[in-house]
Amino acid sequence: MGIDYFYIEEGEFDAHLFHQGTFYESYKFLGAHKMLENEGYVRFIVWAPRAKEVFLTGNFNHWNETSLPLERIPESGLWNICLKGVSEFDAYKYRIITQENEVLMKADPYAFHAEERPKSASKYYDIEGFQWSDKKWIKERKEKDYLNGPLSIYEVNLLSWKKKDGDIQYSYDDLADELVRYVKKMGYTHIELMPVMEHPFDGSWGYQITGFFAPTSRFGTPKDFMNFVDKCHKNGIGVILDWVPAHFAKDGHALGKFDGSYLFESLDRAKAENDMWGTYNFDFTKPEVLSFLISNAMYWLEYYHIDGIRLDAVSYILYYDLSGKGIKNIYGGNENLEAIEFFKRLNSIIKKKHPETLLIAEESTSYEGLTTPLEEGGLGFTHKWNMGWMNDTLEYMKIDPLFRGKRQDLLTFGLMYAFNENFVLPLSHDEVVHGKKSLLDKMPGSYRDKFANLRLLYLFMYAYPGKKLLFMGGEFAQFKEWDEWKCLDWNLLEYDSHSSVQKFVRDLNKLYKEEEALYINDTSYDGFNWIEHENHKESIIAFERIGKNGENLIAVFNFTPVERIDYPIGVEEEGSYGMIITSDHKRYGGETKRIKTYKTKKESIHGRDFRLELTLPSLGGVILKKKN
């Protein structure tokens, strides 16, 4: 009995939008799809314009390499076949014959599912039909204002967050129970997942992708991942995905030289090769690549109800010269003009269809207008990682406290540009890996001083203008730097010093959501006033966070290991000010036993008519609020 297949008739498929770069739902047509008009058949379509021949091979034909030839769609670089007898989870690849008669075995660029590493074939999977139960979340999400609302992000690598006994990895279902419960308990508003798109090498952390439309099969099926997102939403937690439109893995089964030529990458070898990561760069001049990438972003929003996308390595997309190859644009500049237009188009399409989506750029240069709206001439991202704040603050915290006074500018300079963009303050995975030490181990001093410094850092972060992001393990003071091959050291929570930091971070998240002055004016000087920033000798700074209705907070930080008694701080209004949190409280592993209240004195200081005289703990900070 022969294999039952046929081809799309001319005129049945309009490839015009795909080749024009405006087919933003190309995932509904390319790849493998159940045919509604021909029951029992699955349609396969692949883009391979320079291929001499293309064959389909898989479980359904016992991996025969020549029995299922694809046919080119007229006047297109697309090939197709409609096959009967394909079952869900059947593995398959495309056997591509190049113009030089080289044989390539390629996974499907649009596959929704893939074999688990080290295998590399695609799997046929029916993506339709998941029963979502997050209608309430989706409705409320549309009404949220994440520019002027709280945004506290827990960054996670799913493979190394936690494992079962015997070093057994969690599944999506396990994570839907345990990770979601934990993040809810800790009070975060969002989880950010390091790339979940299919990738062959755990050590790439997911940033070298081979299957852009397939949630990694390490943890289960695509619908298992949908269930994870659904559980997050039902527990009031948003989900942000790391997304990598810069480059892709060179593995032989993946996108690289897909039809024997540079296809998804540039025909210019210097532009195609990404020497820094050993990958290929996407070519933003090709309309089909634009259709692929924008469709991919839309796919995660549409099918997985994702709340936000964090775009990785944006600087390396915006600028040619970061590659060190001396590449210039047509005007002699170093900006990648086509990439800039790609970002504008991407953000425009997402804003039009899903205006509530968080669009976060990891960008390390001073490129202007990244979070400026498109209609005002910007790129239209909603947020940008504040890499300058991260680098300066961590550099300061690593200094011996006795010498910090000489570098107080590292804490204060950031306010010169803090409102140029809509910033997220990231203490991310990049800062706690490969010899950089954990956040706790970066801190100087004795064992006790390290914990005090870390709590001080966290209080400073939550008081400072900008949204918050902390990588997993930081919330309980992981002592070892992150190792992608091992789970976090959860046993540390048996020790009071670590469990106390966890309580502190949980209480910071709670306070952050309760006190609107900490978030309501994050993007404007309307929300911030310096009180004291010139006391280099004693390494003390103080500032005011300003709410909408006079609900202001006073934040004071002592970065030396010396307690300051009756330290004067100027305030605008007479009255009593209560301490609403201190990093030095006994509950968190410090020395302060009770929450204090201070009354003003009618003596001017710091340009204000009244003063408070505070007890500032060594290596500690306090936040105060005026009592009614």
Domain harbouring 565, CATH code: 2.60.40.1180
pLDDT of 174 above 80: yes
Give the count of domains, the chain. Answer: 1
Residues making up the chain, counted from first to last: 628
Domain presence at residue 86 = no
pLDDT tens, residue by residue, 305-339: 999 999 999 999 999 877 778 899 999 999 999 99
Q: What is the pLDDT of residue 11?
A: 61
pLDDT value at residue 10: 64
Cis peptide upstream of residue 118 (ω within 30 degrees of 0): yes
Compare 9 and 591 and report the one with higher pLDDT. Answer: 591
- Tell me if residue 421 is catalytic: no
- Is 312 part of the annotated catalytic residue set? yes
Residue 209 lies in a domain: no
pTM for the full model?
Answer: 0.96
| Model confidence pLDDT, tens digit, residues 509-526 | 999 999 999 999 999 999
Provide the edge-to-edge strand list for the sheet that holds 620-626. Answer: 528-535, 540-545, 553-558, 620-626, 576-582, 597-599
List pLDDT tens digits, range 216-261.
999 999 999 999 999 999 999 999 999 999 999 999 999 999 999 9
Spatial separation of the C-alpha atoms in residues 190 and 39, rounded to whole Å:
41
The one-character DSSP state at 481 is P
Nearest to 425 by CA among 458, 386, 451, 393: 386
- What confidence score (pLDDT) does residue 1 get? 46
| Alpha-carbon gap, residue 413 to 23, rounded angstroms | 45
Q: Is position 173 within any domain?
A: no
Q: Give a yes or no: residue 611 inside a domain.
A: yes
pLDDT tens digit sequence for 401-414: 999 999 999 999 99
Find the angle CA(101)-CA(102)-CA(103) to the nearest 5 degrees: 115
| Inside any domain, residue 607 | yes
* pLDDT, tens only, 7-30: 988 666 678 899 999 999 999 999
Which pLDDT band, with edges at 50, 70 and 90, does 556 fall under? very high
Average pLDDT for 79-85? 96
Does some domain include residue 558? yes
Domain span at residue 617 reads 525-626
Tokens for 21?
Answer: 């770069």
Mean pLDDT of 251-277: 95
458 belongs to a structural domain:
no
Closest CA to 422 of 466, 365, 387: 466
Residue at 350 is within a domain: no
Strands (E), 107-189: 113-114, 122-123, 152-156, 163-164, 168-169
Q: How far is C-alpha 396 from the geometric centre of its chain's CA atoms?
A: 25
Kindly report the average pLDDT of the chain as a whole number: 95
pLDDT for position 297: 98
**Taking the alpha carbons of 275, 277, 279, 280 in that order, is the dihedral positive or negative?**
negative
Contact indicator for 113, 216 with CB cutoff of 8 Å:
no
Strand residues in 269-416 grouped as ranges (E):
273-274, 279-281, 308-311, 358-361, 383-385
| Tens digit of each residue's pLDDT (9 = 90 or more) over 400-459 | 999 999 999 999 999 999 999 999 999 999 999 989 999 999 999 999 999 999 999 999
Distance CA(107)–CA(95), nearest Å, equals 9
DSSP 235: T
Q: Which pLDDT score, from 0 to 100, does residue 153 have? A: 98
**Options 192, 198, 312, 363, the catalytic residue:** 312
Task: Name the pairing type of β-strands 31-34 and 71-72.
Answer: unpaired
Which one, of 355, 394, 415, 380, lies nearest residue 542 by Cα? Answer: 415
Which residue, 225, 223, 232, is CA-closest to 195?
A: 225
Annotate 277-292 with DSSP letters as a single string.
TTEEE--TT-HHHHHH
- Mean pLDDT, residues 159-163 taken together: 96
- 29-to-47, 61, 295, 477, 570 alpha-carbon distances in Å: 11, 23, 11, 48, 65
Q: Give the three-state DSSP class for 261.
A: coil
Instruction: Output the pLDDT for position 2.
Output: 67
Q: Of the residues 362, 431, 516, 584, which is catalytic?
A: 362
Mean pLDDT of 154-182: 96
Residues 569/530, Cβ–Cβ less than 8 Å: no
- Strands (E) located in 513-609: 528-535, 540-545, 553-558, 564-571, 576-582, 597-599
